[in-house]
Structure 1
């Protein structure tokens, strides 16, 4: 039984590691005695356990690699111990049987290392200098990747190809006949040798990636044919893709004959992190290749986030740059001094303009453009108090941030109290959607998040009632399959970067509309698949935060862009104050909270908050929310989409005007050939006279 404080999963992992060492110990002792039955059992069990863990839990075996006991060392030790055992078993001739087996085993490992060297070369030759998506790359003659077990899975390859060797040697130990060991090692040699030769065919010119020069030329030609005008530039870590994904629908909506969008990435892995879209995607891992954009028709670049590599694209003088951010809040990160590096800073409404003025970070008012938040269109407006038996509350706290400010997230100091108060009300249905980065910096936030989830599961266990029929669950499965087919490209497990680029070369053209329709159908099926009384913990990408908005009657959150987005619905909301500031100072310092209730860390105000939601006449912030909405997000007329498109057109025009000025200036500074000839003549009059006399 696992001890208290040790989870079953951790106990199983420790037991597996201990079993590996126990089996090695048994193999050593049985080889020296010798004890043939134990040697056979320990050797076979060790290989079986190692192979199983290699396929099912490779992360656990990675711990052994950290102490230099990796898969190659383990399997080599396993084989050598069997050979040592054969030396001590009567009836097996060392010269005629064991020596050839030893040589054959050494040859097997030599071929294994040769195969590994070939795998490294293949991976390098298939690494493209530029990666694309939604772009026809047939001109590059891309090919499928080699089998994963040969090219990328060294441990899997070694253990799988070692099975015949181990079986043959153990049969030799059991029968004292070297014939079986010879057959086993022969089969293993054929497998690894044939695999190495087959893998080597990927080093031939037809299967190799084109050179950087040829790929760059191909990209330049594609850019000249496509003639992009508006790009979205993004660089970030593995968990930051949502910052770009929230702008995909807006970027797609501006696509037209005159406005052709493009997504520019810098990290290879990010190509697959971007959600389904028909917008062409180009990833420039190196700065040298990225400057193909300088000679393109690209006029402006949108930036949803600041990153270390952003400065590299800002060096391209032919492109105008606008910072659009990935959300607006009252946090200092929404007024980063880096923003002054852009030509313009696009914000939702007057509040952000005022925020930059107060922050004094160098962003001038003339460079700020109010465009609203066009991606908020799916959020439904307030339709009155809840009419059913349950009030749906969305608790969506943000993460802890990098600066250690206790006011960043309510999860640590107030989260459990808020959830406890909500769960105490039998008329509440809770939707808990924590930020995906919760606990990534402060372990306390991760621990509190886990306890909150446990509280919700426990509360669900105490509730009962009718559940949707099987048809509702089946409908969700159907809708999930339909949406996955639209949003995900099916890659085989061994697909590499080049193969994925080959499969994602041609966009559908109508994907955006199809995905929007399928997403709405999926959302409807998702909520219908749960009983109305059941609390939900939502940590997956679907349903999205806006879908949760449309289900909720009340939002409880922190100072974050979630509050600004929620205000577009004009529904009631509350913000947790864990900063230690008095309420008046908190409201003054963070304007986004001025039209909502403030919760202290003890969350004592939750019952009164719920009462105001159920009885709108007790809601003191109705008018304030409407006023704050316009202050934060700008006017409803013209709509945000129109204002955003107008801002795009204006900045593109500014880029065109700059190009005209630069071309005019260069043409005036560089003399024409006729003028050059006249200057040469004027500078050497004696030569002209001699020519005339002659």
Structure 2
């Protein structure tokens, strides 16, 4: 059963292409033989396979396009095989009757080609050189986008508009009446003509501002807003959480914050915030920030595009990371590129010193972890019927180290041991990138989820009443109202930019309150005995921390953050290291229970959680928290703000020095210019002999 799901997914992925290939072969055979029933069945199968590909398997559509079997080739092949079938079924003596059908089809495809060209032009005109959010963009004259079927969905448009023509040809094949095919082709041509007219109208009417006008508008906005601090972020679709965890901390700084992104898709993945956001894809436009008042950018992650923003000398850069762990990636030599490295506590400072990657101790600043303010502290052992255990393994990483994640070697054993205890309620929250590098991790993750689902089938217990579900629905609606910009389904990036203008005052605080209320309603709506698989952004990791009595994880930043609550935790050792070496190599596990891949220690771990007298690690957790996260006074947000002020002052001093040097250089340059002009004039004066 565990292998069946991947097999079924692979079969579902291959089936549409197999049906498509078989339908073309059957169409060709039916046209040559000829055979009417087979021709109709093969064409219907072809259309169904095409529709399923575009609806559920867009990746397969791209794969076919790479081998020059794109949707245009496939639709032309299908329709002209029908024409061949018509000729064979009706007799070649009717060529003159069917010639207009061929010409009509050609006319339809010509209209489609023209419409496709117009759609490309419309998309180009509506592609802004930059995108913004939480900024009033009404001055840019952005009109609503045309329907996406006309501009962005070439394949479905051709399939839908060509359907009447295909249906008409089939009816003509069955009835031997060309009028049906003529009518179908006429309808298809009319749809294509209307589509073309709609796109041409978009081209000739008032269009959005030109790229130069957009850039000038943004320069004006920068001059008016005068940002001082900001966050720079670039990454893949699943990495947005790295930036989202710093939103509240950035918003809490004094000054005028700004978020700078590089990927267009990231605009909709950044969480609810009132901070102005700008996406600047091109380097040449990114460098315009040098002329702004921006003094400081924090960086939650390294990326290939980070070096492009580091070129700007007038902005200071601080690497804040998206979490701290004992992994080597937490001490990346790339950090040398930043002006300062901001870490949580003394342990990270020592980590950089031991790693010897070129980071000077004077450039390391301890700020704590501002994000952890919402984590509730330990209040004692579980008091309800169930002990809630959060299993939050990290992902496999890029380096192929089997000790990175416990999912592959230990995950199933850990989950089986937890599920075997009837007093455990399991929350399973895998890292969102699990399986993105190693398929073994993805397969193990699937098997773990299957184990949990199977265990839930045998769990019984009271379920919340309808009031809990109603409350969750109400809270969900409220949160959706606050965080969703209510885009039209056909809105493109330009229109979204217009809709996501300046937020209402106090929206950020309202979202925070609504999120907390939703989380409370979410947990209250769940059966107390039911295990949970959490793969969605909500409930967030820290909400799971507050719900859990025990964490089981890997060597990762999850452990560091969880220590803020000083609750018991365990770390899986899948590195083949003896336990004493494992603790020495990874200080974050110093106050943890170490689990081997066979998960033999789970029962004793649960006993220690339920009976604190058997837990000898409480004092160690308190000491390790201080070492990893630093002191609680002053609060982390205050230390974060102090570090920002300090680096902004450094930026001001640097700008002042550069300005003074420029002013000092101007007289020298002017004198050199005057001397050069005098020398030129002297050379031009006529000599006495001349």
TM-score (norm 2): 0.93
Q: Give the distance between the partners of 1:271 and 1:116, measured in 2 at CA.
A: 27
Name the SS for the 1:382 alignment partner.
coil
User: RMSD of aligned C-alpha atoms?
Assistant: 2.5
Q: How does 1:36-47 map to 2 (within 5 A)?
A: 36-47=36-47
The alignment partner of 1:240 has SS state of helix
Which deviates further from its counterpart, 591-600 or 486-495? 486-495
- Distance in 1, Cα, partners of 2:600 & 2:128: 58
Query: Contact between 1:44 and 1:166, CA under 8 Å: does it hold in 2?
Result: no
Summarize the alignment of residues 123-134 of structure 1 with structure 2, pairs less than 5 Å apart.
123-134=123-134
Cα distance, 1:276–1:196 mapped onto 2, change above 3 Å: same
Structure 1 position 377, deviation (Å): 0.4
2:474 alignment counterpart: 478
Worse-superposed segment, 50-59 or 438-447:
50-59
1:232 aligned counterpart, secondary structure: strand
Displacement, 1:10? 4.4
Q: Say yes or no: does 1:527 pair with 2:545.
A: no
Deviations 1:159-196 (A, max 9, x none): 11112212322333333332222222122111112211
1:134-533 equivalent positions in 2, closer than 5 A: 134-204=134-204, 206-207=206-207, 209-254=208-253, 256=254, 259-533=255-529
Paired with 2:54 and 2:147, the residues of 1 have a C-alpha distance of: 17
- With 567-576 and 487-496 compared, the bigger mean Cα shift is at 487-496
**In structure 2, how many angstroms separate the alpha carbons of the residues matched to 1:22 and 1:189?**
28
Of 670-679 and 572-581, more deviation after overlay is shown by: 670-679
Q: Equivalent of 2:667, from 659, 671, 674?
A: 671
Tell me which residue corresponds to 2:688.
Answer: none
Q: Given that residues 389 and 551 in structure 2 are in contact (C-alpha distance below 8 angstroms), is that contact kept between their aligned partners in structure 1?
A: yes
1:495 Cα deviation after fit: 1.9
Assess, with a 3 A threshold, how the Cα gap between structure 1 residues 96 and 370 changes in structure 2: closer, same or farther. same
Distance in 2 of aligned mates of 1:344 and 1:683: 49
Deviations 1:400-422 (A, max 9, x none): 11111121111111111111211
TM-score, length-scaled by structure 1: 0.93
The alpha carbon displacement at 1:507 in A equals 1.9
Structure 1 position 357, deviation (Å)? 1.1
Distance 1:439 1:677 in 2: 64
Which digits, 9 at most, give the CA deviation of each residue in 1:87-116, with x for residues without a partner?
234489635421111111111112211211
Q: What is the SS of the residue equivalent to 2:497? A: helix
Following TM superposition, by how much is the alpha carbon of 1:574 offset from its aligned partner in structure 2, in angstroms? Answer: 1.0
Q: For residues 362-385 of structure 1, what are the alpha-carbon distances to aligned partners after superposition, in whole Å with 9 as ceiling and x for unaligned?
A: 111111111110110000000011
Contact 1:216 1:292 in 2 (8 A): no
* Correspondence 1:70 to 2:66: no
Contact 1:86/1:92, CA 8 A, preserved across alignment: no
Change (3 A) 1:188 1:344: same
Q: Distance in 2 between matches of 1:549 and 1:120?
A: 48
Equivalents in 2 of 1:420, 1:86: separation in Å? 63
> Could you report, residue by residue, the CA deviation over 1:228-267 in whole angstroms, capped at 9, with x for unpaired residues?
000101111121111111101111111x4xx000001111
TM-superposed CA distance for 1:85, in Å, is 2.4
SS at structure 1 position matched to 2:237: coil
Q: What SS does the corresponding residue of 2:174 show, helix, strand or coil?
A: helix
Partner residue in 1 for 2:685: none
Deviates most, 196-205 or 496-505:
196-205
Assess, with a 3 A threshold, how the Cα gap between structure 1 residues 464 and 674 changes in structure 2: closer, same or farther.
closer
SS in 2 for 1:239: helix
Match in the other structure for 2:639: 643
Q: Number of matched residues?
A: 680
CA distance in 2, matches of 1:74, 1:560: 49
Match of 1:691 in 2: none
> Which residue in 2 is equivalent to 1:630?
626
- Asked whether the 8 Å contact 2:13–2:57 carries over to 1, the reply is no
Matched residue, 2:84 = 84
Asked whether the equivalents of residues 91 and 176 of structure 1 are also in contact (C-alpha less than 8 Å), the reply is: no
Do the aligned partners of 2:145 and 2:490 also contact (CA within 8 Å) in 1? yes
Instruction: Give the CA deviation at 1:221.
Output: 0.4
Structure 2 CA distance for aligned equivalents of residues 126 and 678 of structure 1: 50
Q: Distance in 1 between matches of 2:69 and 2:20?
A: 11
Q: Which residue in 2 is equivalent to 1:55?
A: 55
Give the direction of change, closer, same or farther, for the CA distance of 1:112–1:677 in structure 2 (3 Å limit): closer
Cα offset, 1:12, TM superposition: 4.7
Shift of 1:532: 1.4
Q: Are 1:566 and 2:562 counterparts?
A: yes
Summarize deviations over 1:196-217 as a string: whole Å, max 9, x none: 121122223622x433322221
Task: Please state how far the C-alpha of 1:485 moved relative to its aligned partner.
Answer: 2.1
Closer/same/farther in 2, CA of residues 381 and 674 from structure 1, 3 Å limit:
same
Identify the residue that residue 606 of structure 2 maps to in structure 1: 610
The equivalent residue for 1:689 is none
Which SS does the other structure have where 1:381 is aligned?
Answer: coil
Q: Do residues 594 (structure 1) and 590 (structure 2) align?
A: yes
| 1: CA distance, partners of 2:10 / 2:677 | 89
Deviation track 1:268-301 (CA, whole Å, cap 9, x = no partner) reads 1111221121111111111110111111111111
Q: Relative to structure 2, which stretch is displaced further, 623-632 or 666-675?
A: 666-675
Q: Do the aligned residues in 1 keep the contact of 2:223 with 2:292 (CA within 8 Å)?
A: yes
CA contact 1:136–1:505 (8 Å) conserved in 2: yes
Separation in structure 2 between the aligned mates of residue 680 and residue 77 of structure 1, nearest angstrom = 74
Question: What SS does the corresponding residue of 2:570 show, helix, strand or coil?
Answer: strand
Q: Is the CA contact 1:51–1:160 (under 8 Å) kept in the aligned structure 2?
A: no
Deviation (angstroms), 1:670? 2.2
8 Å CA contact retained: 2:434, 2:445: yes
**TM superposition shift of 1:491:** 2.5
- Offset at residue 552 of structure 1 (A): 0.6
Aligned counterpart, 2:28: 28
Structure 1 stretch displaced more, 500-509 or 32-41:
32-41
2-structure distance, mates of 1:404, 1:133 = 38
Change (3 A) 1:178 1:370: same
Distance 1:443 1:28 in 2: 40
Describe the shift of the 1:604–1:100 C-alpha distance in structure 2 as closer, same or farther (beyond 3 A). Answer: same
Structure 2, unaligned stretches of length 5 or more?
683-690
Is the contact made by 2:16 and 2:52 (CA closer than 8 Å) also made in structure 1? no
Give the Cα separation in 2 of the matches to 1:452 and 1:394: 14
Q: Structure 1, unaligned stretches of length 5 or more?
A: 687-694
- Equivalents in 1 of 2:318, 2:46: separation in Å? 59
Structure 1 residues 383-392 or 32-41, which shifts more? 32-41
